Structure 1
Amino acid sequence: MKSGTPSIAQDVSSGHRSRPASRRLREHLERTGIVVVLAVLVAVFAIREPAFLNVDNLFSILQAVSIVALLGIGVTITLAAGGFDLSVGSVAASAQMAASYVLIVWHGSALAAVAACVALGVAAGLFNGLLITRLRVPDQLATLGTLFLLAGLQLIPTGGRSLATGTVMPDGTEASGIFPDAFLALGRLRLFDIVPLPVLILAVLTVLAWIVMETTRWGRVIYAIGGNETAARLAGAPTSRYRIAAYVASATIASLGGVLIAARVGRGDVSAGHSLLLDAVAASLVGYAVWGAKRPNVFGTVVGAVFVGVLLNGLTMLNAPYYMQDFIKGVLLVLALAFTFSVGGRPDSRV
C-alpha cells in the first residue's frame, strides 16, 4: 500500500474522531439554543429601540410574564405527571372574580380574599384529580370540562358583569366595598421602587417548585408516573394520590395568579384569563427546549415565559401590528419544539 493512500483503519479512526465533535456541537446547540436566541432578541430590540433596556421596561416585562409563568409552572407539574391541565386559565380568572366578590360585595379583608382564592384553587384541583383518577376521565377532557364549568360559574354571581365598586348586582343592590391597599399592594408594590412584588413571588415559587420537582422524592415519583404510570404503581407508588396532588398544586398556583391579576387591575374583570391558558401552555412547551431538557421542567417554563414576554414587548415597542402577535408566538413554539426534538435530538447515523 502506498504511503500517501489513507488506510481503512485511518478512515474509521477519523470518523470516530469527527463524530463526537459533531455530536458535542449538536448537544451544545440543543442546550443553549433558546437562551442564545433570547439574547439575540434582546440585542436586536435594544439596537432598534434603546429604551428597551431601560430598567423599568425590563421589570415591566417580568411583571407582565409573572402570571403566565406561574400558570405555566402548574401546567408543567401536570405534564410531568403524564397529564395536562387545561383549566389553569379559568381557575385564575375565577379566582380574581372570587377575590373581587369577597372584597367588594362581602366587604372582606385582603387575607380573606386570598384565602378564598386558595380554597377555590384547591377545590378545583381536587375536582380535576378525582375526575381523572376515580372516574377515569382522560386528563384533557376532565380539565376541559372544568375550564368551561368555571368560565360559566364566575359569571353567575354578577350576572355576567365585571365587578367594581358601584356595580349593580343582579338583585338590584349596589356593591359598595373597595379594594384595600394591602390587597392592591400584591400586584402593584415595587420593592425599592424598582422590583415588582409579583416578580419576587414568581422567583420564590420558581425556586420552591424546582427544588420539589428536581431534588425530592415527590418530584421523582411525579416524573416516574409521567414516564410509565404502570411501572411506578408496580414499584409501590400511590400513583392516584400523586396525580391528584399534581392537579391540586397546579390549580392552587393558578389561583395565586388570579390573586395577582385582581390586585393589579383593581377590579373583577370577566374577560381576564382568556389568553392565559395558551400563553401558559406555550411557556411550558418551550421549556422543553431549554438546556436540552426534553421534558417538562420548571426552570425551562419560566425561561419560555420570559422569551415570549421579551418578544411581545419588543414587537410592541417597534409598533408591530398587534394581530401578528399570536402568529409569532405560534411560530416560536413550533420552531422551538422542532429544534429540540429534530435537530437537537437527531441521532448520529454514521458508523
Structure 2
Amino acid sequence: MQVKIEKTKEREMKGLTNFLNFINKWGTVIAVFILILFFTITMPQFIATSNLLTILRSISIVTVIAIGLTIALTVNGLDLSIGSAATFSNSLIVSFFVWYSMSTFTSMFIAIVITLTVAALNAILIVKVKIPDMLATLSTMFIFEGVAMTYTGGGSISEGMPRLDGTPTVGTLPPIFEKIGQAPYIIIIMLVVVVIVHIFLNHTKHGRYLYVVGGNMEAARLSGIPVDRYRTIAYLLSTFFAALGGIMIASRIGSAQINAGAGYLMPAVAAAFIGSSFGGSGKPNAIGTFVGAVLVGVLENGLVMMSVPYYSLNIVKGIVLALALASTYFRKRN
C-alpha cells in the first residue's frame, strides 16, 4: 500500500512538473490568447480586423527597438540608452528634411550613422572603461537626450518651422518617407526585422557567438572568441535598431518631438524580458520579443478600449514588466 501511495505521489509530482514546464514555455502565448478572448467577450469590436491591424501598427516601433535590446541581452548586457537613441535619430532625420531639404535615403543613412555614436560611447564605457552596462547606458541616455534637445533648441521640428536662428525653411517630409509609418509598410518592416534577427541569432556563427559570450564570458574568451568585439557588435546593433525605430517614429507622427523615444523604453524592456521565456528557450530571442510586444500591445489596446485612463496604463505596464523580470530571474536562480 505504501508503495502505491508513493507511486501515486510521484506521478502527481511529475504531472505538476510537466504542467509547470508547459506554462513556463508557452505562458506568454497563452496569456495573449486569454487576453484576446477576454477583451473579445467584453468588447466584440476588439477582434475586428481594423483593430487587430491597429495593434500590430502600434507595436511595430516598440518591437523594432526591443529587437535591438534583445541583441544587447544576448551578451548579458542591458542597453537603457535605446530610448534616447531613438529620440536622437528622430530629431536628426526630421531636421535633415525640414532644415536642409535632403533626400530620403541620404537622410536615413546619415541619421543612423550619427546615432551610432551612442553605441560607440556605450562600447567605450562598457568594454574599455569596464563600467557596468546599466550605469554606462544610463549615462548615455541622459547625454543623448540632452544632445537631442540642444540640437532642436528644446522644441519640436515640423514642416514650415524656421531654424533655430530664425531662418525660414521650405523642406518637407517626402511622401515615400511618410509611407514608412503607415500600414501595412510599418508592419512589414517590423516582421522583416524580426525574421532577419531570428535567423542571425539562431542560424549564423556570429549569433551563436553572442549567446556564448552572454552565457560565460570567460569561457568564450578561452575558446578564442573575441569577446570585446562581439560585445561591441551587440551594442552597435542595439543602437542601430533604436535609430531605425526613431526614423519610424518620425514617419508616423510627421515631426520631431522632445523625448519622442523615451516612452518606448519600458515597453521594449518588457517585451524583451517577456520574450526570453518563449518556447522555453530561457534566452533572449527575436520571436519571443515579438510575442512579448504583442502581449503588451494587446493589453494596452484592450485597456484603452475599456476606457481605462491613459495615466493608469503605466501601472499595468510596470506590473507586467515586474512579473517578466521575476519570472526571468527566478528561472536563472533555479
Secondary structure of the corresponding residue to residue 275 of structure 1: helix
Residue in 2 that maps onto 1:277 = 265
Find out whether 1:69 has 2:57 as its counterpart: no
Residue in 2 that maps onto 1:47 = 41
Which of the residues 304, 309, 320 maps onto 1:316?
A: 304
Distance in 2 between the 1:280 and 1:126 partners? Answer: 21
Which of the residues 71, 91, 104 maps onto 2:85?
A: 91
Cα distance, 1:271 vs. partner? 3.5
Report percent identity of matched pairs: 36
Secondary structure of the corresponding residue to residue 245 of structure 2: helix
The one-letter amino acid of 1:330's match is G
Secondary structure of the corresponding residue to residue 283 of structure 2: coil
**1:146–1:41: structure 2 CA closer, same or farther, 3 Å change rule?**
same
Cα distance, 1:206 vs. partner? 0.5
Listed as ranges, the matches of 1:267-346 within 5 Å are 267-339=255-327, 342=330
**1:158–1:21: structure 2 CA closer, same or farther, 3 Å change rule?**
closer
Which of the residues 214, 217, 220 maps onto 1:226?
A: 214
Find out whether 1:260 has 2:248 as its counterpart: yes
Residue in 2 that maps onto 1:3 = none
Q: Is the 8 A contact 2:72 2:235 kept in 1?
A: yes
Q: Is the 8 A contact 1:128 1:143 kept in 2?
A: yes
Superposition TM-score, scaled by structure 1 size? 0.90
Find out whether 1:128 has 2:122 as its counterpart: yes
**1:11–1:92: structure 2 CA closer, same or farther, 3 Å change rule?**
same
Secondary structure of the corresponding residue to residue 282 of structure 2: coil
Residue-by-residue CA offset, 1:70-95 (whole Å, 9 max, x unaligned) = 11111111111011111111111110
Residue in 2 that maps onto 1:31 = 25
Residue-by-residue CA offset, 1:97-151 (whole Å, 9 max, x unaligned) = 1000110001101111111222123332222112211222221122112111110
Residue in 2 that maps onto 1:174 = 168
Distance in 2 between the 1:239 and 1:29 partners? Answer: 34
127-136 or 15-24: which moved more?
Answer: 15-24
Cα distance, 1:346 vs. partner? 9.4
Find out whether 1:162 has 2:156 as its counterpart: yes
250-259 or 24-33: which moved more?
Answer: 24-33
Cα distance, 1:25 vs. partner? 1.3
Cα distance, 1:341 vs. partner? 5.5
**1:106–1:141: structure 2 CA closer, same or farther, 3 Å change rule?**
same
Q: Is the 8 A contact 2:180 2:251 kept in 1?
A: yes
Cα distance, 1:166 vs. partner? 2.2
**Which consecutive segments of 4 or more residues in structure 1 shift more than 6 A?**
344-347
Distance in 2 between the 1:292 and 1:79 partners? Answer: 16
Q: Is the 8 A contact 1:262 1:268 kept in 2?
A: yes
Find out whether 1:103 has 2:97 as its counterpart: yes
Distance in 2 between the 1:326 and 1:187 partners? Answer: 24
Q: Is the 8 A contact 1:34 1:336 kept in 2?
A: no
**1:124–1:55: structure 2 CA closer, same or farther, 3 Å change rule?**
same
Listed as ranges, the matches of 1:105-120 within 5 Å are 105-120=99-114
Higher relative helix content: 2
The one-letter amino acid of 1:29's match is I
Superposition TM-score, scaled by structure 2 size? 0.94
